Chains A and B, each alone.
Chain A
Amino acid sequence: MNRSSRQAFASTPVGIVVIIAAALVLLALISQVPMVGRILPYAIAYTIPLLVTALGGLYSERSGVTNLGLEGLMVVGYFASALTIRFAEQSLQAMALPIGLLVGVLAGALFSMLHAFASINLKADQVISGTAINMLASAITVYLARTITGSGNVRIMLGIIRRNIPGLSQIPGIGTLFFTQSYWSTWVALAVWGASWFLLYKTSFGLRLRACGEHPHAVASAGVNVYRMRYFGVGMSGALAGLGGSIILVTYSGEFNGTVAGLGFLSIAALIFGQWKPLGILGATFFFGTATTIANVSQVIPQLGVIPPVLFKVFPYVVTLLALVAFSKRSAAPKAIGEPF
């Protein structure tokens, strides 16, 4: 089967059903391996912040603005949600968590406007502006945290409690893999992923946004306001990176400590490795999340101890470099990326 007919098959309803069914059978088989059941919940927990942040990067880069500031925007969301939850958790109890996530999203979006203003209105070098965002975010959040709490850390008492999804968790195989002990934020993130795919690929708005990253002048001549589209793209990247940072807080961290330890850059790697496509990003982030998890748990699981953990940790970055080499002839990167309009 050649490439085009393969693609045609994959996009018919029958094809989609076949692919999904095959994936489910595969997963049900995999779930029987005992190690997978132990690793997967952690792998998903690590994947989700990467996924939403990389999705944010997708909006920005597809609209034509490079965003190296994702790391900093995550830190901003991380900090804002930590602060909100810390002050609200006494009075609002569990309601403080969604409010905290929302504030994280808003703070990320607001902070990203610095990058948008520099790269859209002032035609600044987007790489330098993004670097400045990273440095500014980590400096200013710790500065404020020290002033407010005395130390550079903001600890919260609450966190999202893992729950079994009623009904679905009873399904053998995938039920135990995906629907037991899951965070509700995971489902929010996947919903955002689905909505983003729909918005970017199934609406005329999405087509225009993507066109701004390919041929902004052509879009402009069709009457679209390129500036506004790019502001939307960068704003979404800030909002989603802020969400990513907030999710780290309420799931596995429980404390703001001034850094997301390179997860923002890992998201950029996932964006590239996923070739700037939603499905690619989903796959890449899951791949990277799993690699990180294996590296972290390899000391306690003897079967994995034979492989040095450093290999799992550098793996995402090495495969991203290899992907860049492999796709160098026909890169899927937006053509007008990084170019001021």
Chain B
Amino acid sequence: MKIKSNAFLIAISAVILGIIAGGLLMLAIGSNPFEGFYYLFRGSLMNMERIGNTLATAITLMLVGLSVAFAFKTGLFNIGASGQMLIGGLCATLVAHHVFIPRPLYLVVLIGAAFLGGALWGVVPGLLKAKFNVHEVVATIMMNWIAYWSIYYFVPAYLKGPSLETESKSIALEQTLRSPWLTELFGRGYMNLGIFIAIIAVLAIKFILDKTTLGFELKAVGSNRFCAEYAGIKVNRNVVISMMIAGGLAGLAGVTYYAGYSRNMQIGVLPQMGFDGIAVALLGASNPVGVFFSGLFFGMLQSGKGFMNAMTEVPPEIADTIIATIIYFTATSVLFSRFWDKVGRNRRDRADRRNETASQAEEVHHEQK
């Protein structure tokens, strides 16, 4: 078998090291890591309700991961998914409180509003990058905090709940993405129609990237923007479009979270999922299908941690530690690619030496004849 480093091997290595790091941390506080991981995965998969909750968590992660991955394909780093999620969620919340029309049409308006909100928050860094060459990482970080503080003051002023100052009033159940048959099927958990948004988005992004001119141009800009420019591709236009769609996808993540998984918005929270999405995209090697599965994996980690914490002494932050470790090791993937290349080379060398000795032996054998 030929071993050479590839995206899959690197991703798996990072996951294994992340899990080992998590295990070591559990050992450090005197817990049994096998027990810890047993309860972690049991907490996310033990019955239909928990599977539903895991999927509901995974939906948001997949959409954020898709957002980050899509920007990656154009060579852009969308670190602003948190802010785009917040604005998408805010638009969805506004629609949920104020628009009352037949459900199929309502869902289109709800989801569309979230997409547009996120896209608006994504297109600003895109335009700044295209027009003024402002680095998108810095611009998206600034946009995150602008969103954070806007929500911080907007929600208490216009969407205040009856009891708490720090969260918006709950959306009526029939105005969310929850659906009676899904809720029934998954034992009254958080499962919602977002799963279809996620699946459709994965397929649509895959189609755009693989089968359309737009996708080809976006990828061309991502792999070498000067070469793409020379070939007549409008680089700046593609940068703007890429950030807009990436923002829109994060906005969709916002609707699945704030009007699906949860039913209100809390102030003073920059959603952690926006950063977990970076892990999802990296682990999925920026491939839509890869993102789908890595979203499932991180969904399991995030949704099982509460049960694990209840059954053992391990604090729930272990899941975030594992995710962060995985990101760190994916960033340092050169370590693994060197390692796997070396393993591969050693095997090849050994094989070559064997062949050599075999042929030498044959020659000797010949001469003796």
| Cβ-closest chain A residue relative to B319 | A139
Knowing A129-B328, A131-B79, say if A318 contacts B334 (CB, 8 Å). Answer: no
B 145-175 to A, binary, CB cutoff 8 A, 1 in contact else 0: 1101110111000000000000000000000
A313 near B153 with CB under 8 A, answer yes
Q: How many residues in B have their beta carbons less than 8 Å from beta carbons of A?
A: 47
Residues of chain A from 308 to 322 with CB closer than 8 A to chain B in the complex: 308-310, 313-314, 317-318, 320-321
Across the interface, do B150 and A127 meet the contact criterion of CB distance under 8 Å? no
Cα(A278)–Cα(B58), bound, Å: 44
Whether A136 and B324, one on each chain, are in contact in the complex, defined by CB atoms closer than 8 angstroms, is: yes
Known contacts A139-B317, A328-B133: A309-B331 contact under CB 8 Å = no
B326-349 vs A, Cβ < 8 Å mask (1 yes, 0 no): 011011111100000000000000
Chain A count of residues within 8 A CB distance of the other chain: 44
* Chain B residues whose C-beta falls within 8 Å of the C-beta of A135 in the assembled complex: 275-276, 320, 323-324, 327
Indicate with 1 or 0, residue by residue over A255-281, a CB within 8 angstroms of chain B CB atoms: 000000110011011001000000000
Is A314 touching B149 in the complex (CB atoms < 8 A)?
Answer: yes
Q: Is the CB of A128 within 8 A of B282?
A: yes
A309-B153, A321-B142 as given contacts; A262 in contact with B270, CB under 8 Å: yes
- Report B-chain residues with C-beta under 8 Å of the C-beta of A139: 317-318, 320-321, 323-324
Q: Does A324 touch B at the CB level, under 8 Å?
A: yes
Residues of B within 8 A of A28 (CB): none
Q: Please determine whether A131 and B275 come into contact, CB atoms closer than 8 angstroms.
A: yes
Q: Are A131 and B278 in contact (CB under 8 A)?
A: yes
In the assembled complex, the Cα of A265 lies from the Cα of B149 at a distance in Å of 14
A336 within 8 A of B: no
Q: Does A30 sit at the interface, judged by CB under 8 A?
A: no
A146 to chain B: closest residue by CB: B315
B29:A310 contact, CB within 8 angstroms = no
Contact of B142 among A68, A147, A320 (CB under 8 A): A320
User: Given that A313-B152, A317-B142 are contacting pairs, would A328 and B332 also be in contact in the complex, using a CB cutoff of 8 Å?
Assistant: no
B270 touching A129 by the CB < 8 A rule?
no
Which residues, 20 to 70 on B, are CB-close (under 8 Å) to A?
25, 29
Q: Is the CB of A122 within 8 A of B327?
A: no
Query: Within the assembled complex, what's the spacing in Å between the Cα atoms of A261 and B270?
Result: 9
A26 CB-CB contact with B under 8 Å: no
- Find chain B residues with CB under 8 A from A143 CB: 25, 315, 317-318, 321
Could you give, for residues 252-285 of chain B, a 1 whenever the CB lies within 8 Å of some chain A CB and a 0 otherwise? Answer: 0000000000000000101000011010001000
Q: How far, in Å, is A215 (CB) from chain B's closest CB?
A: 20
Give Cα A86–Cα B85 distance, bound, in whole angstroms: 38
Contacting B at CB under 8 A, from A113-159, are 114, 117-118, 122-125, 127-129, 131-136, 138-140, 142-143, 146-147, 152
Q: A124 near B331 (CB under 8 angstroms)?
A: yes
A310–B149 CA distance with the chains assembled, in angstroms: 6
What is the CB-to-nearest-CB distance from A231 to chain B, in angstroms, rounded to a whole number? 16
Indicate if the CB atoms of B327 and A131 lie closer than 8 Å: yes
Whether B109 is near chain A, meaning CB under 8 Å from some CB there, is no
A299 to chain B, nearest CB (A): 11
Additional A-B contacts beyond A140-B321, A310-B152 (14; CB < 8 A): A127-B77, A128-B278, A128-B282, A133-B328, A135-B323, A136-B324, A139-B323, A152-B315, A265-B145, A310-B149, A313-B152, A320-B142, A321-B134, A325-B134
12 residue pairs from A and B, CB less than 8 Å apart: A118-B331, A125-B331, A128-B330, A131-B275, A132-B327, A133-B328, A135-B324, A143-B315, A146-B315, A265-B141, A320-B142, A324-B135
